[in-house]
Chain A
Amino acid sequence: MIDVVIVDDEAPARAILREFLADYPQFHVVAECANGYEAVKAVSEHRPQLVFLDIQMPKLDGFEVLDLLDPKPKVVFVTAYDEYALRAFEVHAVDYLLKPYTAARFGEVLAHAEQMVNLGTPETRTTITAKKPLQRIAFRDGANIEVVPVQRIDYIEAQDDYVHVFARGAKHVKQQTLGELEQLLDPARFVRVHRSYIVNLESLDRVEPYAKDSRVAVMKDGNRVPISRTGYERLRALL
């Protein structure tokens, strides 16, 4: 028996998945979700082996949902947009169903999914590259999900395997390396000023000298962030 969660914000789209799945008794639908928040909650709760995931949804898109899930289930993306196929391939999605699809195509996808679930490899991953810079970051603390638009971020600090993201006085934690996050952010706006720090140029107030040969960034909210020598060169190139 393979547990399945269906995620789509459109009721008819959920209905056809449920209808087609009814012909395959080895698949069991444990939850249906109408948005990304519900999806993260339901997947964490039911731990399904397979998720049918829409991409364009309110608040959290399909990739962001996947990003927040740990462990990650096998995923089949179901969408009317063909431009996400490459990203789906990158995160090791089982398949990519383009709406509308036939029962025959759905059968192929299920056969493939069943094989993948039983083999258990390869793992579904988080997106590591993106065509466009990241627009928002989703954080999860237990059942609580928060989505922060990147323009609200003041600075980011690395702590071992985690990043601490400071945005408008609040601190958000996420398991990711600073280097990975740096790759996803808009390089014209976010600068790696230090091995352990990234600052948002729009939240930067001024740069002050600090001891001999080193500097510190004073943020608009008064917080101070150390700047390394190479970090200062990067900053100067952008200002």
Chain B
Amino acid sequence: MHPILADRKRLALYVVTWCLLALLLAFVVMEPGRVPLREAILLTFPPTIVYAFICLAAWYPVRAMPLDRARADALLPTHLIAAIALSGLWLLMFRAWARVPGKAAIEAVASRTVVFLVTGILLYVIAVAFHYVLAAVEHSRVVEQREMNVKLLAREAELKALKAQLDPHFLFNSLNSISALCGSNPSSARTLTTLLAEYLRKSLRVGTADSITLSEELELASSYLAIERIRFGPRLEFEQNIEENVRAYRVPPLLLQPLVENAVTHGVGHLLDGGVVQIAAARDGDRVRIRVENRCDPDRPSSRGEGIGLSNTRRRIDAFYGEGARIEVDNEPERFRVELVLP
């Protein structure tokens, strides 16, 4: 849609500007005694207003040839030819219309052919420049909108990840364990309470940070697994294999948490004799590979597509690292492996 025609305020401003131009032109044409001001105004107004609307068409070549992308050798001739053709039209309009005010007006136009032609060209060029300004304004608004959308999406992903992160069942089951241990094993109950508090404190603290080190993230995963170990007992084992030189690598907070939770609740938790959750991280050329791996039940129901946890992780690494990051999922009958390859 045309940016001026679509907006009433802009259209009014545009027409008023052209009315002022018509008035200015009337003063140029006016000659005391021969062409009185009233006749001069009658002569200049209608063709100028018509020309104003013709110049609106400048929008289309402006849109087709944005200044930053079009080449000058295509841009200049196009607008030049348009300017010459339109100013010819502008002159013809004046000649035709001059018959209405009368003889003096006809003469006034005839004696100023060059003035009219140059004015016509100038007016068109001004119109083109004006449209380029409008196009720039429009463009920056679109860009701003897009940036805002990207920010909004990232924020949303963050919030979702945080929400998914504090699984209420985990909390309730842990509280139930504490309640149970209070009777039979009060010192274990105390340990579990402390572990849970530590885990909650850490996850609340890192949840607000933009990024944390891999070390911090792994500490969080360890606290989580320590709590789950009290519930699952020896069925749940945990192994870490982290290269020293990736410990300071920065990741978005709670990146691994959904993967570790999946490994416990959908992997080891479904095995009668339990299994190991393995986390490994290593540098591979200019990339960092982080792997979460667990044994799982070959008879588990086949999941269609990937879970919410995985698609969330995918969105988060896309938002945090951009193009260079990817996630590899290896779903074997007895093993489930997720590998994050990060730049």
CA distance in complex: A98, B169 (Å): 10
Residues of B contacting A: mostly: helix
A132: nearest residue on chain B (CB-CB)? B301
B169: nearest residue on chain A (CB-CB)? A80
Tell me which of B156-164, B176-184, B314-322 binds A. Answer: B176-184
Residues of chain A within 8 A of B232, CB atoms compared: 9-10
* Chain B: minimal CB distance from A68 (Å): 16
Inter-chain contact A99/B175, CB cutoff 8 Å:
yes
* Chain A: minimal CB distance from B242 (Å): 29
Residues of chain A within 8 A of B176, CB atoms compared: 12-13, 16, 80, 99-101
Residues of chain B within 8 A of A11, CB atoms compared: 231, 233
B301: nearest residue on chain A (CB-CB)? A135
Residues of chain A within 8 A of B271, CB atoms compared: 58
Residues of chain B within 8 A of A58, CB atoms compared: 269-272, 297
Question: For chains A and B in complex, what number of residue pairs have CB atoms within 8 angstroms?
Answer: 73
Within 8 A of A (CB), among B136-153: none
CA distance in complex: A100, B178 (Å): 9
Question: Looking at the complex, which one of B272, B299, B302 makes contact with A37 (CB distance below 8 Å)?
Answer: B272
A59 within 8 A of B: yes
- Size bracket, chain B contacts: 20 to 34
Residues of chain B within 8 A of A10, CB atoms compared: 173, 177, 231-233
Inter-chain contact B180/A15, CB cutoff 8 Å:
yes
A174 within 8 A of B: no
Question: Looking at the complex, which one of B172, B230, B272, B301 makes contact with A12 (CB distance below 8 Å)?
Answer: B230
B303: nearest residue on chain A (CB-CB)? A135
B300 within 8 A of A: yes
Inter-chain contact A80/B172, CB cutoff 8 Å:
yes
Inter-chain contact A19/B184, CB cutoff 8 Å:
yes
B positions within 8 Å CB-CB of A: 168-169, 172-173, 175-181, 183-184, 230-233, 269-272, 297, 299-302
Of the A-B pairs whose beta carbons lie under 8 Å apart in the complex, a sample of 22, sorted by A's number, is: A9-B232, A10-B177, A10-B231, A11-B231, A11-B233, A12-B177, A12-B231, A13-B177, A19-B184, A58-B297, A59-B270, A59-B297, A59-B299, A80-B168, A81-B169, A100-B175, A135-B301, A147-B299, A149-B299, A149-B301, A150-B301, A151-B302
Closest 3 CB pairs of A and B: A16-B180, A135-B301, A99-B176
Q: Known contacts A98-B172, A100-B172, A136-B301; can you find 4 more A-B pairs with CB under 8 A?
A: A13-B173, A81-B169, A147-B299, A149-B300
